[in-house]
Structure 1
């Protein structure tokens, strides 16, 4: 197989997700009453970036063949925390941002430590820790409220020169600084190896425990970034169990739509971002075409089910071949 064909096969799901998103967004913008305007793009970008950050957070854990059901509660916890401490002078604001991101890292480290050293299933672990994280969020914000540095919030959620959404630039910068080096590092390759076969990776000398621990920490970090951006969008914090559950489930849907295998070891965070944008655009299309709200959850569920089934076909084929030759 040539290098080009190998690269294409490796990134095929990401490219497909990107093409699907572009087509869907063009249909959405073409049927929107405001057309393809800067305001329409900015609104769609701001909504999409929140889910994209949660999808990337979910991707790190899914690549290890796990699922993190606490990303939504970490998202809400850091939103509530940010509404307390990301205020004041530029120095205090910067310190508050560091504190919010550190809180996300700690949440991820707790999840990773319990999964690795407690040897519990990721789903069970993150359900339990998610309940604890949400309880802390309620302690911080029993009632919606708070504040945030408005100048910074306006800068990160507004438009740059040419009408480019600032939130998309933030997302791109984060991916270039964190995901790209991680993907090319030995640790990043170890995460993929763990997801493909943890036993084989361990027998090959791969630092499986370290890889899983870092994956959970990065998951918490990206969930905290999402919580921080939510605070910048809303200028407040709210301990909403509905938002926590919705964003958790939607992050899994975005991962699947982006071509990341729920069985681990396959996919990319870039694909998950396009999956998140696809999922958000589906919601926008349902609004534009005025589909009855009672039918919208059913339609979204069917889309997710089809995506999961399509993502499983290749794996089932490989297993059948192994059984055939085994």
Structure 2
């Protein structure tokens, strides 16, 4: 066995949770398309992509605090708040629209930074601190949008929730029927935005000193401290990045629905799903293992499972029950490691 094969096998073995989730996603989605009357079509892919983007962003938002060994219970509330902000600002001239989008994402990022400051300098447990700040975020969302409403730019809504062909046609960038463009015209814009932001933001962060420190803190905070790593900076960055991803999710949710809605139930459901997606993607709730891309895959798995309800004859009243069992099973996977250890000290290694 040569070195390349050993390296590949070693990588797969270390990330078997992620690769297992990726394989499961591929199988589930292939079967879904085979069963769907209009499967393997651009229309189905675009619809699925639109429904998956928000939960994928929230899953990535949850990932970074989980990597340091905490949970952020405010990600759903931050997404709801930023969606309400977007419903007010993302309209008007192109300059005003861009300004509104920037302010929306920065609002989520700032709220994430606030979480980090409270956790680091207030020395509170993340789960307690973010439970409180999540309530504040919902309160602000209700202040901005006491009732559902908004006026998102119509062209933006159409261009970002359809295929590349529709995006090019909406803004007249070039001839969307050009022969060279045909192989790419069917690609959903939501997937480009989702994976583009994930790779452009997460990959550089993970390779940075701060990103590596996040993993070190989650694996063994005491050892990271003794090594002189910037622990406080890593924790601040983790919650700030969580706020950024949640802000992206809120912005897209507002663009997709053309409205803002301070829905407490929605915020709680997205937060719960984000935790489940993190675990399904192969990350450990104990910290130090996983990544945003893995959680993105986990979120897509959960969403694909919900797609099956459309093509399988299941009573709508039973669907929440089934989803609840799926989420419970997914979150329970995070406790398997604690059941397998013989010495509790191993949990902190």
Q: d(CA) in 1 for partners of 2:337 and 2:265? A: 34
Identify if the C-alpha distance between structure 1 residues 319 and 122 changes in structure 2 by more than 3 Å, giving closer, same or farther: farther
The aligned runs of 1:82-121 (5 Å cut-off) are 82-121=86-125
Q: d(CA) in 2 for partners of 1:315 and 1:181? A: 32
Residue in structure 2 matched with residue 268 of structure 1 by the alignment: 291
Asked if 1:21 is matched to 2:25, the reply is yes
User: Secondary structure of 2:185's match?
Assistant: helix
Residue in structure 1 matched with residue 313 of structure 2 by the alignment: 290
The aligned runs of 1:68-147 (5 Å cut-off) are 68-147=72-151
- Root-mean-square deviation (Å): 1.7
Asked if 1:205 is matched to 2:248, the reply is no
Q: 8 Å contact 1:102–1:221 — kept in the other structure?
A: yes
Q: d(CA) in 1 for partners of 2:76 and 2:334? A: 24
Q: d(CA) in 2 for partners of 1:31 and 1:275? A: 22
Asked if 1:175 is matched to 2:198, the reply is yes
Q: d(CA) in 2 for partners of 1:321 and 1:216? A: 28
Q: Which deviations, in whole Å up to 9, do the C-alpha atoms of 1:151-175 show, x marking residues without a partner?
A: 2222211101431110000111101
Q: 8 Å contact 1:257–1:304 — kept in the other structure?
A: no
Report the TM-score, using the length of structure 2 for normalisation.
Answer: 0.88
Q: Which deviations, in whole Å up to 9, do the C-alpha atoms of 1:42-81 show, x marking residues without a partner?
A: 1111111110000000001111111111001100100000
Residue in structure 1 matched with residue 208 of structure 2 by the alignment: 185
Shift of 1:316: 4.3
Q: d(CA) in 2 for partners of 1:117 and 1:216? A: 13
Specify every segment of 5 or more residues in structure 1 that has no aligned partner in the other structure, as ranges.
none
Identify if the C-alpha distance between structure 1 residues 124 and 310 changes in structure 2 by more than 3 Å, giving closer, same or farther: closer
Shift of 1:315: 5.1
Aligned pair count?
323
Q: d(CA) in 2 for partners of 1:17 and 1:100? A: 32
Q: d(CA) in 2 for partners of 1:111 and 1:321? A: 30
Residue in structure 2 matched with residue 152 of structure 1 by the alignment: 156
Q: d(CA) in 1 for partners of 2:14 and 2:151? A: 44
The counterpart of 1:304, out of the listed 327, 337, 341, is 327
Q: 8 Å contact 1:74–1:227 — kept in the other structure?
A: yes
Q: d(CA) in 1 for partners of 2:89 and 2:342? A: 51
Asked if 1:66 is matched to 2:89, the reply is no
Identify if the C-alpha distance between structure 1 residues 97 and 203 changes in structure 2 by more than 3 Å, giving closer, same or farther: same
Q: Which deviations, in whole Å up to 9, do the C-alpha atoms of 1:8-59 show, x marking residues without a partner?
A: 1233222111111111111211222222211111111111111000000000
User: Secondary structure of 2:23's match?
Assistant: helix
Specify every segment of 5 or more residues in structure 2 that has no aligned partner in the other structure, as ranges.
165-183
Asked if 1:163 is matched to 2:186, the reply is yes
Q: d(CA) in 1 for partners of 2:47 and 2:253? A: 13
Q: d(CA) in 1 for partners of 2:84 and 2:329? A: 35
Residue in structure 1 matched with residue 272 of structure 2 by the alignment: 249
Q: Which deviations, in whole Å up to 9, do the C-alpha atoms of 1:245-264 show, x marking residues without a partner?
A: 11111111111111111111
Q: d(CA) in 1 for partners of 2:51 and 2:121? A: 37
Shift of 1:214: 0.3
Shift of 1:224: 0.5
Report the TM-score, using the length of structure 1 for normalisation.
Answer: 0.94
Q: Which deviations, in whole Å up to 9, do the C-alpha atoms of 1:218-266 show, x marking residues without a partner?
A: 0000000000001110111111111111111111111111111111110
Shift of 1:322: 5.7
Q: d(CA) in 2 for partners of 1:304 and 1:205? A: 38
Q: 8 Å contact 1:79–1:237 — kept in the other structure?
A: yes
Asked if 1:40 is matched to 2:63, the reply is no
